[in-house]
Amino acid sequence: MKIKIIANNDNIRLSEELKLHFSKRMYKSIKSKNTLFYVNQKLTNTFEFIKKDDVIEFEYENKIKSELNWPIYESKLDIIYENDNYLIINKPYNLLSIPTTKNPKSVYQEVLYYLKDNNDKSIAIINRLDKDTEGLMLIAKNKLAASKMSNVHEKMERRYLALLEGFLDNDSGKIINYIAKEKDSIKRYITDDKFGKIAISNYKVIERFNDYTLTEFILETGRTHQIRLHAKSINHPIVGDKLYNENTNSDKMYLLSYYIKFYDEFKKEEIEIYLDKEYIKTWIKK
């Protein structure tokens, strides 16, 4: 695979410029293969200085096989967007993002099946969703993309729709508290700052029904079960959330990742993807 990048800095060593473009792990992998680097088509050592807008090129082949011996399942991916570096899918309800010993079927294997003809199997799921949460997921398709997109999740704008129990009086609000993991359990709980990590959600009412409220959540942090716990904390748990809503009558949890926005390190531009209103109407009626 031929990799081409443009230097962003002036009067800097080639090695330092490369470290700004790749993770430490990726850079070590590139160096370990005795890679030859060309700057403006001239063979260049990593200790040499380069200039801004210089063109850096090198060949990198990743032939490392997946260390996980998970079974691979036939792909049923609902692909919303795809290019050479990543794809965005619409994950269905009742499917894990990554496999576990007890439940090995997941998005991870479906993506591996979809990309089965690719030599590079180093995929990375950028924004994981709970098994019962539906919606948009961003997945890097190779090792280079996984490296360059490693920090995307922290800066990604994520918006969710949740169908909450009852009639939510406030039109909007902000929830700030701390979340910690229960010992020997998948459940989380709200606690003080001594034991938990800060969790911040902004919410806005989209539509009110007789017994439910459709609410948008915009996250400032990405804690496990954050929206589920925050909805419960305002006494309006998510419909179908059997983990935190013991009295629910629904077999399905109504939480949807419907919008993501992130910076594409390859195109050097903002990417905005969302599920349209018609899809959302159908989702509510399911």
**Confidence band of 122 (pLDDT split at 50, 70, 90):** confident
In terms of domains, do 134 and 276 share one?
A: yes
Domain check: are 235 and 163 in the same one?
A: yes
Q: Is 130 a catalytic residue?
A: yes
**Does 281 map to a domain?**
yes
Does one domain contain both 220 and 144?
no
Mean pLDDT of the chain: 89
Q: What pLDDT is recorded for position 151?
A: 79
Q: Which domain holds residue 15?
A: 2-59
In whole angstroms, what is the distance from residue 179 CA to residue 176 CA? Answer: 10
Number of domains in the chain: 3
The pTM score is 0.75
High-pLDDT (> 70) share of the chain, %? 96
pLDDT of residue 252: 93
Shared domain check, 194 and 232: yes
**Both 149 and 265 in a single domain?**
yes
* pLDDT average, residue stretch 92-104: 88
Residue 25: its pLDDT value, please?
73
What CATH number did the domain enclosing 124 receive? Answer: 3.30.2350.10
Query: Of 54, 120, 130, 241, which is the active-site residue?
Result: 130
Domain membership of residue 71 (yes or no) is: no
In a domain, 66, yes or no: no
**Sign of the alpha-carbon torsion through 241, 243, 247, 250:** positive
For residues 142 and 263, state if they share a domain.
yes
Count other C-beta atoms under 10 Å from residue 210's C-beta. 5
With cut-offs at 50, 70 and 90, classify the pLDDT of residue 99: confident
Q: What is the pLDDT of residue 120?
A: 67
Do 278 and 203 fall into the same domain? no
pLDDT band per the 50, 70, 90 thresholds, residue 283 = very high
Q: What's the confidence (pLDDT) of residue 76?
A: 84
CA 111 to chain centre: 14
Beta bridge partners of 181: 188
pLDDT band at 69 (very low <50, low <70, confident <90, very high): low
Q: Do residues 266 and 134 share a domain?
A: yes
Residues 139, 166 within the same domain = no
